[in-house]
Amino acid sequence: MESLSARLGMRLPIIQGPFGGGLSTVKLAATVTNAGGMGSFGAHLLEPDEIIRTTEAIRTETQGSFVMNLWVDSGDEKSGETDAETFVRAATELAPFYQKNHITPPEYASGNSIHFERQVEAILRARPPVFSFVFGIPSKDILSECRRRDILTMGAATTLDEALAIEAAGVDIILATGFEAGGHRPSFLRPAADSLHGTLALVRQVVASVKVPVIAAGGIADAQGVAAAMVLGASAVQIGTAFLACEESGAHPLHKQKLFHPAARQTRLSDRVSGRLARFIATPALDDLERLNQTHLGYPLQGELTRPLKSIDSGLFYAGQGAPLLRHHRAADLTLALAAAISHTAPP
């Protein structure tokens, strides 16, 4: 049987995780692909025309495969029902926080202009080699159209039940992501707080229960982690935090610095930054936010409250539990270092 790496045209079964909010870059995605892995771009905050332009920009930088990623569920009901008065109340709660960090409080902006249906139309037009998605499963029609256009599909699962639902929908690849991962927990069948499975347990269960290829994610940051995932039966690994720390990513320089700092040894999950549960470095800013913020606005309006706080020294920094293992600052060097243990394992 043809391996997943061969099917995707990768020399190495290493996939760079997609990052939203300006953290993904064309350069990072292309660099990882050109180094033998597969780069990704988090497009869930892009307008349709931006998705098409970005896909074409990556194509100009590499002839290999890459991933474009979207959120199927791009807004919470709570956020959609939030009015200006509620937003102002939440911002007022954080007034001491803003003052302490010399930040002007954000202003209310109603609505969410990001619509998955319009974004996925752009994906279908742009035809990236791989379309990955989180927070749900696209419709049967969308998945059928992806197959017709030779776009491989990859869905994220945080539980075995989610993995089985993804396979039943006809998705090509399952990403089994453990709670050790940095960034958002993309659960969709049950609340994220009730879907916290470790990578080791989740990957093994999913591999034993489905027939499609499984990619492991969550806390993997070095060659030994790659080797362990392959022994569990994963066909490839997806790595986020280690690539986010590289010079090619769009993360703020302070964010990259913090990922190599001893402070990154302590991370925790919080829903007070974006409105959805995600893993961050445990900073004083996160402590203050969770203590002061009592009015939860949901995604994405909660993120408007915290957007100005992501570049301050004690700020809000995504990070996975593998951060203390980070050693590399360039994406090509990291990709090659991650590949070091692959020759000792045989992907299924």
Using the predicted structure, report yes or no on whether residue 120 has a pLDDT greater than 90: yes
Using the predicted structure, report yes or no on whether residue 66 has a pLDDT greater than 70: yes
pLDDT reported for residue 14:
97
Query: Domain residue spans in the chain?
Result: 4-340
Determine the CATH number of domain 4-340: 3.20.20.70
pLDDT reported for residue 340:
80
Provide the 8-state DSSP code for 12.
S
Using the predicted structure, report yes or no on whether residue 175 has a pLDDT greater than 80: yes
Instruction: Give 92-113 pLDDT, tens digit per residue.
Output: 999 998 998 888 899 898 766 6
Percent of the chain with pLDDT over 90: 84
Using the predicted structure, report yes or no on whether residue 309 has a pLDDT greater than 60: yes
Segment 176-186 mean pLDDT: 98
Mean pLDDT for the chain overall: 94
pLDDT reported for residue 344:
53
Give DSSP secondary structure letters for 53-70.
HHHHHHHHH-SS-EEEEE
pLDDT reported for residue 158:
98
pLDDT reported for residue 327:
97
Q: Which carries the bigger pLDDT value, residue 210 or residue 307?
A: 210
Using the predicted structure, report yes or no on whether residue 1 has a pLDDT greater than 60: no
Segment 307-323 mean pLDDT: 84
Segment 331-339 mean pLDDT: 95
The model's pTM: 0.95
Give DSSP secondary structure letters for 276-324.
S-EEEE--HHHHHHHHH------TTHHHHHHGGGTTSTT---B--TTGG
pLDDT reported for residue 315:
80
pLDDT reported for residue 347:
44
Give DSSP secondary structure letters for 79-119.
HHT--HHHHHHHHHHTHHHHHHTT-PPPPP--S----HHHH
Dihedral angle of Cα 302, 165, 322, 325, to the nearest 10 degrees: -140
Segment 110-125 mean pLDDT: 88
- Contact between 335 and 35 (Cβ < 8 Å): yes
Using the predicted structure, report yes or no on whether residue 348 has a pLDDT greater than 50: no
